[in-house]
Structure formats: structure tokens, C-alpha cells
């Protein structure tokens, strides 16, 4: 099949000497796209001798792979002609019906028609941002917020304004003030992006009372809420709280995902939106990808149908609870005085605040040399804050590795504090790595 | 797990009486997003009693499903922990290595590092457009061109300028003139989008001589070429021609897909780009979806490894050849005098030009009532042309159904011509359906 008699052409008349011949041709929106210096560090962090507390990958080793393989085999044999074909730009109807059932666990009542399946909930957020945001629009986000979301908002040339949080979640008074003052200054505030459950990166959960207050503020100020909820069912204590969407169906766009409750590799998430918004989301998705992965939807639906998926979540909870508890134990044992951290009741992350004078960004190369990695807090802010913070993940390493990781981290911190006391200043405080693109996706 | 003691909130203070409370909040880029009136017709066209010659769905019934199911089962059992996990934002290395081998069939030499795997080649085009195009930029396309691509360019608020084609492909003189005059008028021309092999919708293939001329024009005028090649291996006569990318590696961005040579439901395509462009594409994809479907990449790679994929393409070719030949037979038998059509040597589509006075858009409802569907030519133009054309697909119906379809179509055309002669005009010529979003993805 190779082409015989290949065509040979004369040398091009002009030889471009620029390193990148297209340097003047890129769209404006790409000017913020830079490869993060942290990327190089994180490829080192992925070496087996490094304990990585930087990642966000769920531990899927407990999935019933043998039984799943039989179900998937049957799928290919019996439904392969549909499962391997083009599908609906809105997502397969049966997939959306299953999503209705999954969301009911968090009190959401919805109709399958109002759901748009996407290539992961990351794409759901991308579609929502694409439908609503013009360059220069403002998106409100918690302080701090998920690095992948900040990247998406930047990709659409939005301005991100952070709103204060405390241990009960976003501060509704600060939110209202922010909306009022931004609009008074003539800015268009398109929506608030919030992760109410076991937030990435802080692990903080919005209390029920705060949810109620947040909805009231949103109603009073005519503010749209985008609720991102990948971890809601991964409670490690108590029961899931009611989703914001269950408190207000008109004002909340809800993003969901199977990545943490089942597995990420199928790239299936969804958005639940009011009808008119949903129409635009479907058209936008069709222009972007034609349709979300069809085969993946068949697999996930078969899994939900044939397996005790709620029971599997219980298995995950027990596993993550042990890891979280190991993290707590390790932090108590190994963190220097003056270090504080959040106490998440679910999810994957603990948010650490370092003693004054330390800089988690500057410290990262030394930590990786000491064979432990974390995600510096600055990755989760659009405004340069976060240098006293670290996000520590307990989802992927074993409990033993987690404790070893905190031990190594403690040693690094002790060394940093020593330098601080000896020299009286943080030698790296003027040098900052570019974290604007955040870590690689497998550790978002 | 359901939340007990559900929180109840007071009624919202203001009740929005607009049908769409967000009508003023959408981004500018959505203003062109409308649900095509043709959509409704196409859902009718999908009923079994209608012979649909409108679609673009490959016929995948010949895939070896039983054997494939065993391979996929082994994949889940033995590699499930990797296959169901988050993956690389650039696509898995082994997938990219396979793509290098597949592209070699069309004389392309590439390195796996220069490939970005995407959620279908539709997303590959979306990413390229996103990286290069600002609102108001000009994209050049053949006249006519693929409806899904036009939708993508519109989604980024580009202006589409069509360039004339003939039976050998795009006219390089017309292309050069277009570039020169657009730039003289101060417009930024970002790239030419071309489908050189068995073009969707015309079925026309760019001759080797035209490819050479096209590259020369591109070099002389510093024009970037985006080469979209989903059908190149589906030759029904002769061998594949050398890809444009094989004639110039610096100036051509190449889009490929497994949708037609394997199956569409996995949503795996790719873009082969110069290095600096590739960096931006990866970052853009990570912001959009984190990573392309990982499980799908494992399945496709396993397929390429364990099956005679070239032999399968031969099987597809024979099947599509029989269908194309049935289309030719049916057209010769049933089209009224004055109808002409292209003679594709591969791919899925025949492009029909109707006798003067007929309007394929206006005629479509009557055709569907007569239980035959096609895609009106106007879907494939950004500038309103195409009302005398129809795209007929021979990929999905059986040869018998195809002939039946042409019979029904012939009857409809005969009726239209009759009306024309009797009344002396086309009664529908003033009424046009909105095809700007084109048909649904499964019939693109």
C-alpha cells in the first residue's frame, strides 16, 4: 500500500529562520499558554523512589476487574455495533438515565433531557465556560480553587476573582460584596464556580447552612452558580450533603463525573443545566467533538447495571478513610510547630499552611530532591497567593507510603526552618516558578 | 444514602418571567448557535422506513466482534489499572507510535512526539482552530467543504472564504488570488482547510499534480495548510496518494482518525503538527478535557497489535466498493436528464448537481415524505451556495437499499421537474431552511 514513485519537490524558496515560524499567527487566547516549570519537577516526582503527595489520581486497584472484563466482553459481542458507532451529541439516553439515578444520591431531582454527557467533567466545565464567557468577563472562584478550572477560565481569557473561604466553605458576605463592587465597576460577572464537597484543594466542605446562604446571595444578586462535584459521594464520615442544585434548580449548573466513583480512563462526566443552556451546550459539544465517547458510555452503563456500584463506593470510602487517617497521623507526628492543616471529611486532599517565612513553591525542588512531592498552593490561586500553602493528596499512595511521605516532608520543613532561623530570611522569596498552567492532568 | 431531613428554602424573591433567564448572559460566540430546522427532518430520516442517503456513519458490521471481545476482556483484566486511569494530555505513547505506523501507509514520516491524540479528529480540528484563530480571522476552505468543520470555524467566530474546486481538487490559482486579495484588504488569513482524499462532501480527490501546486502556493504565500484525512485509506480503486504532509512537513498540520478505518465510537483521532504548535495543542487539550479517552486508546492499540488491521481495511474497501457501484448504477437508472454527479474513487460520498431550477433544500421535506433522505448542498457552504446540490452517502445502507433510495429520489426529482415545467418556477425558491449548524453528528 505504500506509494511507489514518491513525488520529490524542489527546495522551498524561502527558508524561515525563526525557531517557530508561526509565532505571529497564534490566537490571542494562547498568549497565556506556557509550559509550567513545575512540569519538569513533576515528571521527576513520578519516579517510584519519590513519595508523591502531589497527585489527584484515584486508586482503582479495588475495582472488580475480572468480572468487569466479562461484562465488557459481552458488550463488544452483543452490542458492539451500537457501542462502537457514532452516538448522540447529547450523550446516550440510557447513560443520562443512569446519571439521574446517581445524582439522586445527593438529593438532586432531574430529567435525563437536562443532562449533557461530556468527555469528563473537565470538558463539561470547558463547554459551560465557552457558552457563557467572553474575554474580559469575570468568573468568581473560591480562594483557593481547582487548578484545572483556573486553567479553563484563563483559556477563555476570563478574569478570575477569588472569594474568601473559611472552614465552613465560601463566605457569603464576601461573595455578595465582591459581586456588588465588580458590577459597580462595570464588570460582567458571569458565574461563581464552587466545589462544595471536599474541595480540591482545601478539603473543605460547605456546610448546609452556608449552602442555604449561598443560594440566597445568588438569588438576591442574580448570580449563576456552577457547582462542580466529583467527590460528593466519597464521604469518609457521615452522609453526603444536599447538592446546591437540589436547593435551586434554576440557578445552579451542576457538573458531575464518574472519574472518582468509578474510574477516570473512560472520560465520562456530565453537566445538568436549565433547558436553554443545555441546548447551547449540546451544539457547542457537537462542534467540539461530535459526541462524547460512545463505547465508554456503554461500559459505564453496563457497570452501573450489573454491579453493586454503591457497594463499590463503600469499598472506596473505607480505603480512602485509611489513607486519610494515615495522613493525619503522619502530619501530627512530623509537621513542625506552627504548621496547620484542614481536616477533610471526604475526598482526596488536605490543605497545609506552613509556618511563616516558608515558601512552598521555592521549596519544591528541595522536597523532590528529598524524594517527596506535593502541589504548591500557588497553583490554586490566580492572584499569586498561596505560597505558604501545600496541597497534600492521600488518594494514591498506600497508608505506609503516606506516613513515609510526611516524614520526609517534615525533614524538609525542619531544614527550611533551620535555614530561616540561621540566615533570617527566605533565600528564595524573590524567585517564583510559573505555575499558571498547573501540574499535568494526572496530578490535577 | 439519601439525605434525610431535606432542607426547604423559601420561594425566590424575584420570579424571572423570561423564557430563558440567561438570555443576556451568553458569550458572543454563541449568537450563531441555532438548532437547525433540518435536525427535525433528520430524526424523521432515521426511521427504518426511510432510506437515508444523508448519513456519514461507517458500516462496522464486518468488524470481528467475537475476537475483539476477547482482546478487550484481556485488556480489562491484565491492564485495567492503567487503561482505566487518567492518562497523558498528549495521548499515550504507544498509541502515538501506532499512529506513526498507520500514517506511513500514506507516505508520512513522523515522530510520535509530534502527534497529539484527541477525542476524535473533530476535536483535533477544534484544538487547531482554537490555537490559531481569533474572531474575525479568515479560514479558507474548499467550495464546498465539510459541514462539521464549517461549524467549528463559526464557533470561533472566523470568517470562512470558499475557494473553487474542480474534478481534480482545489484550484491553486484561485487559492493564490484569494490569499492575495484578502491580505491586501487587511484580513488575516490563518490557514487553508482541505480534505484532499475522497472529500466530504464532493468525493473529489486532489490529484498528485494539484498537491504539488498547492504546496507551492502555500510556500509562496506563507500559508498554513490543515489537511483533514479520515478517508485516505478507503480507496476503492488504486492506491492511496501521498499526503500533503508527506510533501511538506513544516507547513502542513495533519488530522487523522480511526473512525472510518476502525470504528467511531471510541472517539480517537489525532493531529500531527510542528513542534511549537504541538506544545500549544497539548496545553489547550489539557484545559479542555485533561486527556483524550485512555481506555479507548488501549482498545485501539490492542486492535492494531492483535489483528490484521490492513486486511480489515481491504474488507471495508470491498464492501464500500459494492455500495458505491450500486449508487452509480442507481443514479444512472433513476436520475432525470440534466443531473450530473461526481465519481469518487473512494470514501463515502457522491455529490450530485441537480437540473437547473431545482432546490435541494426546499425539496427535502418532500423527499422525506417520499421516504428518502439526503443532505442538501447548502449545508456545506458558508456563503449560501449549494442549493442545486445534494450529498448522497453510500456508506451505510446496503446496495439494495441504495438502489431503492435512488429510485425514490428519482421519483421525487421527476415530480419536482414536473411542477417546474407546469408552473414555470420553483415555488419554494424564497424559503430557505437554516442549515448553519448542519445535520446531527451521526450524519455528518
Model pLDDT for residues A362-388, shown as the tens digit of each residue: 999 999 999 999 999 999 999 999 999
> Which ranges in B224-373 belong to alpha helices (H)?
244-247, 275-289, 294-306, 309-334, 360-369
**Residue A112 in contact with residue A96, Cβ under 8 Å?**
yes
Residue A78 has what pLDDT? 97
Cβ pair A179, A223 in contact under 8 A: yes
pLDDT score of B34 more than 80:
no
Q: Are B130 and B122 in contact (CB under 8 A)?
A: no
Q: CA B387, CA B376: separation in Å to the nearest integer?
A: 7
Dihedral angle, C-alpha B44, B46, B52, B57, nearest 10 °: 140
CA–CA separation, A149 and A158 (whole Å): 11
Integer Cα distance of A150 and A162 in angstroms: 10
What stretches of A171-290 adopt beta strand conformation (E)? 189-194, 225-228, 252-257, 269-272
Which residues lie closer than 8 Å to B430 by C-beta, 6 or more apart? none
Residues 6+ apart with CB under 8 A from B439: B36, B38, B39, B42, B54, B147, B375, B379
CB distance A76–B65 less than 8 Å? yes
Mean pLDDT, to the nearest integer, of B147-170? 96
Identify all chain B residues contacting A294, using CB atoms and an 8 Å cutoff. Answer: 264-267
**Model ipTM over 0.95:** no
CB atoms B120 and A3 under 8 Å = no
Tell me which chain A residues have a C-beta less than 8 angstroms from the C-beta of B35: 279, 283
- Provide the 3-class DSSP secondary structure of residue B210: helix
List CB contacts (< 8 A) between A287 and chain B.
Answer: 126, 148, 151-152, 154-155
- Are the C-beta atoms of residues B161 and B142 closer than 8 Å to each other? no
**Quick check: B84 and A274 CB within 8 A?**
no
Task: Give the C-alpha separation, B366 to B126, whole Å.
Answer: 35
**For cell 454527557, what's the residue?**
A117
- In B171-315, which ranges are E strands? 189-194, 224-228, 252-257, 269-272
Residue B262: cis peptide before it, omega within 30 degrees of 0: no
B37 contact partners, CB below 8 Å, separation of at least 6: B433, B434
pLDDT-based confidence at A22, cuts 50/70/90?
Answer: confident
**Helix A275-289 with A120-132: angle, nearest 10 deg:** 110
What are the grid coordinates assigned to B407, written together?
A: 429510485
How far is B422 from A90, CA to CA, in rounded Å?
45
Q: Give the confidence band of A71 by pLDDT, cuts at 50, 70, 90.
A: very high
Instruction: Name the residue with higher pLDDT: A422 or B220.
Output: B220
Using the predicted structure, report yes or no on whether residue B126 has a pLDDT greater than 80.
yes
**B40 pLDDT tier (thresholds 50, 70, 90):** low
Query: A288 and B125 in contact (C-beta within 8 Å)?
Result: no
- The pLDDT assigned to B16 comes to 55
Enter the C-alpha cell of residue B208. 498528485
CB proximity list for A122: less than 8 A, separation 6 or greater = A148, A152, A269, A441, B288, B289, B290
The pLDDT of residue B33 is above 90: no
Helix (H) or strand (E) holding A390: strand A389-393
| Distances in whole angstroms, Cα of residue A97 to Cα of each of A71, A114, A283 | 20, 10, 20
Judged by DSSP in three states, A375 sits in strand
Residue A120 to residue B211, Cβ atoms within 8 A: no
Ranking B13-22, B56-65, B189-198, B401-410 by mean pLDDT, the lowest is B13-22
As given in the structure block, the three cell numbers for residue A77 are 459481542
For residues B60 and A314, the answer to whether their CB atoms sit within 8 Å is no
Q: Quick one: average pLDDT of A6-21? A: 57
Cβ distance of A86 and B441 shorter than 8 Å: yes
Interchain contact, A87 vs B442, CB within 8 Å: yes
Which of B216, B266, B295 minimises the CB distance to A84? Answer: B266
pLDDT recorded at residue B35: 63
Res A223 pLDDT > 80: yes
Secondary structure in 3-state letters for A79-119: HHHHHCCCCCCCCCHHHHHHHHHHHHCCCCCCCHHHEEEEC
Q: Which residue has the cell 452503563?
A: A301
Dist. CA A419–CA A413, nearest whole Å: 10
Mean residue pLDDT of chain B comes to 91
Q: How confident is the model at residue B440 (pLDDT cuts 50, 70, 90)?
A: low
Query: Which range has the worst mean pLDDT, A13-22, A404-413, B209-218?
Result: A13-22
Contact B240/B198 with Cβ under 8 angstroms? no
pLDDT digits (tens, 9 = 90+) for B250-304: 999 999 999 999 999 999 999 999 988 999 999 999 999 999 999 999 999 999 9
% of chain A exceeding 70 in pLDDT: 89
The predicted model gives B368-385 an average pLDDT of 95
pLDDT of residue B353: 98
The arrangement of strands across the sheet holding A225-228 comes to A115-118, A269-272, A252-257, A225-228, A189-194, A138-142, A159-163
Distance from CA of B201 to the nearest CA of A (A): 17
Specify the 3-state DSSP secondary structure of B24: coil
Contact state of B240 with A1 under an 8 Å Cβ cutoff: yes
Distances (CA, A) of A220 to A166, A251, A400, B13, B287: 22, 11, 49, 7, 32
pLDDT bucket at A428, cuts 50 / 70 / 90: low
Residues of chain A contacting B295 with CB distance shorter than 8 Å = 265-266, 295-296, 299
**Residue A2 pLDDT grade (very low, low, confident, very high; cuts 50, 70, 90):** very low
Is residue A26 over pLDDT 80? Answer: yes
Cross-chain CB nearest to B293 (options A26, A279, A296):
A296
CB contacts of B107 in chain A (<8 Å) are 2-3, 6
What's the first-to-final CA gap in chain A, in angstroms? 43
The CB-side HSE value for A372 (13 A sphere, CA atoms) comes to: 24
Residue found by looking up cell 442545486 in the block:
B388
Q: What is the pLDDT of residue A43?
A: 76
CB contact under 8 A, B242 and A3: yes
Q: For A386-412, how does the pLDDT look when each residue is reduced to its tens digit (9 = 90+)?
A: 999 999 999 999 999 999 999 999 999
β-strand partners of B194: B227
Closest CA to B268 of B285, B301, B292: B292
Residues 6+ positions from B332 with CB-CB distance below 8 Å: none
Instruction: Report the range of poorest mean pLDDT among A181-185, B92-96, B201-205, B427-431.
Output: B427-431
Q: For an interface test with B, which of A119, A215, A232, A241 has the most B Cβ atoms less than 10 Å from its Cβ?
A: A119
Q: Do B29 and A134 touch (CB under 8 A)?
A: yes
- According to the model, what pLDDT value does residue A438 have? 47
Give how far B375 is from chain A: nearest CA, Å: 17
Q: Of A349, A325, A338, A434, which is closest to residue A388 (Cα–Cα)?
A: A338
User: Using CA atoms, how far apart are residues B39 and A427, in angstroms rounded to an integer?
Assistant: 64
For chains A and B, CB pairs below 8 A equal 352
- d(C-alpha B42, C-alpha B36), whole Å: 10
The pLDDT of residue B6 is 47
Q: Which of chain A's residues have a Cβ under 8 Å away from the Cβ of B197? A: none
Task: Provide the pLDDT for residue B19.
Answer: 72
**pLDDT at residue B56 greater than cutoff 70:** yes
The pLDDT value recorded for residue B438 is 47
Position of cell 508561526? A22
CB B79 within 8 A of CB B298: yes
Question: Which chain B residues are closer than 8 Å to A72 by Cβ?
Answer: 69, 72-73, 76
Q: Could you say which DSSP state residue B379 is in?
A: G
Residues forming beta bridges with residue B346, ordered by sequence position: B235
d(CA A201, CA B340): 63
Those residues with Cβ within 8 angstroms of residue B177's Cβ, 6 or more apart along the chain or in another chain: none
Q: Are B1 and A279 inside 8 Å of each other by CB?
A: no
At A190, give phi and psi (nearest 5°).
-85, -45
Name the residue among B311, B233, B254 with its Cα closest to residue B108. Answer: B254
In this predicted structure, the answer to whether residue B188 has a pLDDT above a threshold of 60 is yes
Phi, psi dihedral angles at A320 (to 5 degrees): -70, -30
Residue in A4, A74, A76 to test binding to B, most B beta-carbons within 10 Å: A76
How confident is residue A45, by pLDDT bands cut at 50, 70 and 90? Answer: confident
For residue B101, the tally of other CB atoms under 10 A from its CB is: 11
Higher pLDDT, B45 or B221: B221
Q: Assess whether pLDDT exceeds 90 at residue A158.
A: yes
Which H or E run contains A169?
strand A169-170
Contact A265 B104 (CB under 8 A): no
d(CA A331, CA A222): 42
- Cα atoms found within 13 Å of the Cα of residue B13, Cβ hemisphere only: 8
How much is the average pLDDT of B28-43? 71
**Binary contact (A9, B215; C-beta < 8 A):** yes
d(CA A433, CA A436): 9
Is the CB of residue A217 less than 8 Å from the CB of residue A223? yes
Mean pLDDT confidence for B375-381: 95
Asked whether the beta carbons of B144 and B377 are under 8 A apart, the reply is yes
Q: Which three cell numbers stand for residue A253?
A: 449548573
Instruction: Report the C-alpha gap between B8 and A247 in whole angstroms.
Output: 7
For the segment B327-331, the average pLDDT, to the nearest whole number, is 98
Chain A residues within 8 A of B266 when measuring between CB atoms: 84, 293-295
* CA dihedral over B159, B164, B169, B174, signed as positive or negative: negative
Which pLDDT value is given to residue A36?
61
> What are residue A160's phi and psi, to 5 degrees?
-100, 130
Q: Hey, are the CB atoms on A80 and B69 less than 8 Å from each other?
A: yes
Cβ–Cβ below 8 Å for B104 and A2: yes
Q: For residues B421 and B430, what is the distance between their CA atoms, to the nearest angstrom?
A: 18
CA distance B30 to A3: 44
Amino acid at each position: 500500500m505504500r506509494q511507489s514513485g514518491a513525488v520529490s519537490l524542489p527546495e522551498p524558496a524561502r527558508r524561515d529562520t525563526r525557531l517557530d515560524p508561526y509565532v505571529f499567527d497564534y490566537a490571542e487566547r494562547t498568549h497565556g499558554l506556557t509550559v509550567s516549570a513545575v512540569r519538569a519537577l513533576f515528571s521527576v516526582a513520578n519516579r517510584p523512589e519519590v513519595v508523591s503527595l502531589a497527585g489527584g489520581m484515584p486508586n482503582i486497584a479495588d475495582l472488580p476487574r475480572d468480572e468487569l472484563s466479562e461484562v465488557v466482553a459481552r458488550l463488544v459481542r452483543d452490542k458492539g455495533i451500537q457501542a462502537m458507532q457514532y452516538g448522540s451529541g447529547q450523550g446516550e439516553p440510557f447513560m443520562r438515565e443512569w446519571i439521574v439515578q446517581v445524582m439522586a444520591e445527593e438529593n438532586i431531582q432531574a430529567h435525563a433531557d437536562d443532562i449533557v454527557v461530556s468527555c469528563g467533567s473537565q470538558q463539561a466545565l470547558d463547554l459551560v465556560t465557552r457558552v457563557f464567557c467572553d474575554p474580559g468577563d469575570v468568573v468568581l472562584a473560591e480562594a483557593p480553587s481547582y487548578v484545572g478550572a483556573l486553567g479553563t477560565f484563563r483559556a477563555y481569557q476570563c478574569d478570575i476573582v477569588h472569594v474568601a473561604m473559611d472552614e465552613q466553605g465560601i463566605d457569603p458576605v464576601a461573595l455578595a460584596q465582591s459581586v456588588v463592587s465588580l458590577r459597580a465597576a462595570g464588570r460582567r460577572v458571569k458565574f461563581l464556580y464552587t466545589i462544595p464537597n471536599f474541595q480540591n484543594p482545601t478539603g473543605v466542605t460547605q456546610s448546609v447552612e452556608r449552602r442555604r446562604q449561598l443560594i440566597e446571595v445568588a438569588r438576591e444578586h442574580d448570580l449563576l452558580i456552577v457547582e462542580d462535584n466529583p467527590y460528593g459521594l466519597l464521604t469518609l464520615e457521615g452522609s453526603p450533603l444536599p447538592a446546591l442544585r437540589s436547593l435551586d434548580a434554576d440557578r445552579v449548573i451542576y457538573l458531575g463525573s464518574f472519574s472518582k466513583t468509578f474510574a477516570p480512563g473512560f472520560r465520562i462526566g456530565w453537566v445538568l443545566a436549565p433547558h436553554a443552556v443545555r441546548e447551547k451546550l449540546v451544539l457547542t459539544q457537537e462542534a467540539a467533538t461530535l459526541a462524547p465517547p460512545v463505547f465508554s458510555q456503554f461500559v459505564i452503563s453496563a457497570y452501573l447495571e450489573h454491579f453493586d456500584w454503591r457497594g463499590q463506593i463503600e469499598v472506596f470510602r473505607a480505603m480512602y478513610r485509611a489513607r486519610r487517617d494515615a495522613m493525619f497521623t503522619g502530619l501530627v507526628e512530623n509537621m513542625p510547630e506552627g504548621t496547620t492543616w484542614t481536616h477533610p471529611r471526604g475526598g482526596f486532599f488536605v490543605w497545609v499552611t506552613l509556618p511563616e517565612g516558608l515558601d512552598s513553591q521555592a521549596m519544591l525542588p528541595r522536597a523532590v530532591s528529598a524524594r517527596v512531592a506535593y502541589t504548591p498552593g500557588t497553583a490554586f490561586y490566580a492572584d499569586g497567593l498561596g505560597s505558604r500553602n501545600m496541597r497534600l493528596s492521600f488518594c494514591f499512595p498506600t497508608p505506609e507510603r503516606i506516613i513515609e511521605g510526611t516524614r520526609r516532608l517534615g525533614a524538609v520543613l525542619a531544614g527550611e526552618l533551620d535555614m530561616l532561623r540561621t540566615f533570617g530570611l527566605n533565600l528564595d522569596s524573590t524567585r517564583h516558578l510559573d505555575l499558571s498552567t498547573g501540574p499535568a492532568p494526572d496530578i490535577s
